[in-house]
Amino acid sequence: MKIRIERDVLAGAVSWAARTLPSRPSLPVLAGVVLTAEGSTVTLSSFDYEVSARVEAEAVVDEPGTALVSGRLLSEIAKALPAKPVVIASEGSRVSITCDRSSFTLPTLPIEDYPQLPAMPEASGSVDADLFAMAVAQVAIAAGRDDTLPTLTGIRMEFDGATITLAATDRYRLAVREFTWKPNSSSLDVAALVPARNLSDTAKSLAAGENVIIALGPTGERLIGFEGNSRRTTSRLLDGEFPKYRSLLPSESSSIAEVDTATLIEAVKRVALVAERNTPVRLAFGNGEVSLRAGAGDDAQATEALECSIQGDDLEIAFNPGYLLDGLNACGAASARFSFTQATRPAVLTGHGEGAVDDYRYLLMPVRLTG
């Protein structure tokens, strides 16, 4: 195999193929990226039995062929090379990489031991790439990170005709986002639980294109695929029953408060400076303002008050400051609207005004006040 390829093209392709490589692979070959050169393209692919990635890039192919090399090392080398054409050539059990006056030689891994990539499922429909990336980012913040509860580390994707609903929860907050897409079948009605980390990385990486094709495999395969901008990936779905989250969203509220989002974000950051680990920030809504307070007793303390419009009963509630900031940043709107039922019940945060997304809700559990 011998190819010539632009440095930036190579770096982008390797970054995509190597992004999900396991840090501790069960087999040494699973740490590799396969380079396949033929025609006028080079294809880079990876697979760890859970997630596969494949990307095609334009290249001058002097000699077609295939090689398997360390993905992370190839990625680091590609990013460090000067902005000049790169020549990659296989020579027996080694691969040479030459760019201007820089040269590297990498050992190859046994390609015969590498697993076959799963086939891409049949396309189910497409969605605007920017919309998909934003929706996934808004929901992924609420996904769990505790691998002992694998079901909560996923994002539930519900496909109902022309509507996709994304939901994620770690038991302390819940994020839900609805948006429209273009399904190939208007009668599609199915749900899939996708690992949040995989879905988040995929949506972010595919945002550079115009559309993302979503491909749902047959129920028995438990596989989902995404494709766009000459890149494709598949992911195994998670097993388990996702919580019945819709029953957690209150249908009415006793109080609604609205605050300037950017101002509140900065205030929470300042007040939270004195909040020890797992210490909440208290918010008291009343008399046209919201008062923020953290710290108590002999510990460091901070307070700040902001203008706030309130409809309904006055209320004092406490939140984990990190979780609160996640929701405020995800709303992406000029104003943050809080809907309350009781101080001991979850609050629903939505955006209002410029930049608001009507179909995004962030439900946040309060921290119990002790004094």
* Whole-number average pLDDT of the chain: 94
Query: Per-residue pLDDT tens for 108-138?
Result: 999 999 999 999 999 999 999 999 999 999 9
- Tell me: pLDDT of 353 over 90: no
Q: What fold is seen in the domain 249-364? A: DNA Polymerase III; Chain A, domain 2 (3.10.150)
What mean pLDDT is predicted for residues 272-283?
88
What mean pLDDT is predicted for residues 243-260?
93
- Tell me: pLDDT of 171 over 70: yes
pLDDT at residue 33 in the model: 97
Q: How distant is the alpha carbon of residue 357 from its chain centre?
A: 18
CB 240 within 8 A of CB 194: no
Query: Which CATH number does the domain 123-245 belong to among 2.60.120.10, 3.10.20.30, 3.10.150.10, 3.40.630.10?
Result: 3.10.150.10
- Residue 12: CB atoms within 10 A of its CB come to 20
What confidence category does residue 296 fall into, taking pLDDT thresholds of 50, 70 and 90?
Answer: confident
What mean pLDDT is predicted for residues 346-358?
86
- Residue 262: CB atoms within 10 A of its CB come to 12
What confidence category does residue 298 fall into, taking pLDDT thresholds of 50, 70 and 90?
Answer: confident
The single-letter code of the amino acid at 90 is S
Query: Per-residue pLDDT tens for 179-220?
Result: 999 999 999 999 999 999 999 999 999 998 899 999 998 877
Establish whether domains 2-113 and 123-245 are of one fold: yes
- Tell me: pLDDT of 371 over 60: no
Share of the chain above pLDDT 90, in %: 86
Give residue limits of the domains in the chain.
2-113, 123-245, 249-364
**To which CATH superfamily is domain 2-113 assigned?**
DNA Polymerase III, subunit A, domain 2 (3.10.150.10)
